[in-house]
Chain A
Amino acid sequence: MRFKIASVDSLIIYFGDEISADVSSKVKQAYKSIQSLDIDGLIEIIPSYSSIFITYDIFTYDYNSLKEKLQNSIDFTKDTVEDEKIITIDVYYGVDVGFDLQYMSEKKSLSIEKIIKLHSQKYYDVYAIGFLPAFAYLASVDEKIAMSRLSTPRKIIPKGSVAIADTQTAVYPQDSPGGWNIIGRTVMELFDKNLKILSPLAIGYKVKFNAISKEQYIKQGGKI
């Protein structure tokens, strides 16, 4: 753990210098540990790929006192696997909603069926959430379907689009500009005011995509 000042009332803890499953799992353990400690005076806690950012009440702590408290109390020994939540997202993978499926198939010399299989068979970790509310960066996709971002981003990517950029995959929670490769679409609401924590996803959860037919997608309320 490396501590650094972030601002007058915030600090950041680094758990490594790379994007990897190992570093991400350290972040996850530390995040859960901090949450379970229920420390007074922490205003905002934002975990990401390799770090945890914390805003604190400076009437309760100064930098050194909070650093010391966290150093002494973050526990990496607890096993977090057992309470891991798995969220399944139904996806219709088809060229009519997966604008880049055909191109990917040609570029990677893989059939569309194979791309779908590779994408939907893995369990992904939520590495970070940001860019848009509930936009979760999921990793890692099979190297065979890793694709760099489009050279020209699209002005509008429809809400629910399932996408790949390099070795990460994500679902667009709302209409948005974006440069990721689009391979399918879901009807699942990822940013939902009716949910207690606003999203079905959170850091530390696992995500599995489930391929459904066009008919099922339409039946769920999906639009082409």
Chain B
Amino acid sequence: MSLEVLNTQIFTLVQDKGRFSYGAIGVTSSGVMDEYAYLILNKLLDNPKDTNVLEISFSNNSFKVDKNTMIAITGAYCEFSINDIALSTWQTYKVKVGDVLKIGKITNGTKVYLGVKDGFDIKKEFGSNSTTLKENLGGLDGDKLKKGDLLKYREFLDEGIANKRLQSRYLPKYDDKLTLRVILSYQDDFFKQEEQDKFFSNTYTITNEFNRMGCKLKGEAIKCDRDGIISEGIAFGAIQIPQDGQPIILLKERQTIGGYPKIGSVLSIDCFKLSQCKVNTKINFVEVSLEEGQEKIREFYGSLL
């Protein structure tokens, strides 16, 4: 018994924290784009922190419940209903056999997360359920979800965590502008001071070349003293500057190695916010020290785990 996919759009993917330690043979880490929404979801359900969820990127999805459980829905704001009764998100709900869950229009943000108590029963592949389509790994047979798919899970009857809701002061806002904190790193020495100043003082715009691999921006071109570098490992959040001078921020499904110079790296916790942005969102960069960045990351995970 399971959650049956009645209707879904492309790129509804099973995801978890990601697949690690296979980078040396070119396997990307993958994983949820927005760890904030993901960790809150699992916290609301009292799940282990790396429990799998569905990452939904397009409007109009419906699922039928074939076994009693508790669900939670977080991430992008959307029209959400159970049996056509409109409900708010960032909350847990008790669901029973026959219930129909609908995620209609996504109204603010871009990634909705839907999870069940203790996650879906799917065999992990190389340590993770994260789906990476180009590697045919994770999810159900390495594929995106499609109509008719059945996601199995164990029955859960306890009502103790029903209607648990994230306090409103912790609810994220998905704005049409975002400031990303950057640690200068990698090839920062190959960018003259004036180029670095340009990078930190101009506003960039998110283009439609934005997917699970990365986010290409457009704006004032940044010049690098070198055209390319010897291919090397790429961090989550690394900012590549190709020859056209337009920054690319590398995200969860990035290539493991690459030969473009990098001016620095965006804090991971800011990449989670970036992942909820729409095309044309305005982006600014601000420099932070490594020490300050690490402090922010420790605060983030310290409060969520």
Contacts and interface: CB of A to CB of B under 8 A. Distances in A.
A51 B25 CA distance: 15
A8 B268 contact: yes
A6 B235 contact: yes
A58 B230 contact: no
Contacts of B290: 5, 8, 63
Given A7-B268, A8-B290, A198-B27, A46 B233 contact: yes
Contacts of A8: 183, 237, 265, 267-268, 290, 293-294, 297
A19 B231 CA distance: 10
B173 to A, nearest CB: 23
B230 A51 contact: yes
A59 B26 CA distance: 26
B20 A44 contact: yes
B265 A45 contact: no
Nearest to A201: B25
Contacts of A129: 24-26, 256-257
B76 to A, nearest CB: 25
A135 interface: yes
Contacts of A49: 230-232
Interface of A is mostly: loop
Query: Interface centre among A10, A129, A134, by most B CB within 10 Å?
Result: A10
Interface string B122-148: 000110000000111100000000000
Interface in A120-135: 128-135
A105 interface: no
Contacts of B21: 43-45
A131 B255 contact: yes
| Chain A interface size range | 35 or more
Interface in A64-82: none
B268 A6 contact: no
A7 B26 contact: no
Contacts, number: 136
A199 B26 CA distance: 10
A224 interface: no
A55 B125 CA distance: 21
A107 B91 CA distance: 67
A45 B29 CA distance: 12
A59 B302 CA distance: 9
A133 B26 contact: yes
A122 B256 CA distance: 28
Nearest to A45: B24
B123 to A, nearest CB: 12
B294 A9 contact: yes
Nearest to A8: B293
A45 B298 CA distance: 22
A99 interface: no
B236 interface: yes
Interface string A1-30: 000111111101000011100000000000
B72 interface: no
Given A7-B185, A44-B29, A53 B268 contact: no
Contacts of A191: 135
Interface string A28-70: 0000000000000001111111111111001100110000000
B25 A199 contact: yes
A53 B26 contact: no
A54 B232 CA distance: 11
A7 B238 contact: yes
B234 interface: yes
A10 B265 CA distance: 10
A130 B26 contact: yes
A223 to B, nearest CB: 20
A187 interface: no
A154 B104 CA distance: 40
A62 B235 contact: no
Interface string B267-305: 110000000000000000000001101100110010000
7 contacts: A4-B185, A44-B21, A44-B23, A53-B234, A63-B294, A128-B257, A129-B256
Nearest 5 interchain pairs by C-beta: A53-B233, A7-B265, A130-B257, A46-B233, A7-B235
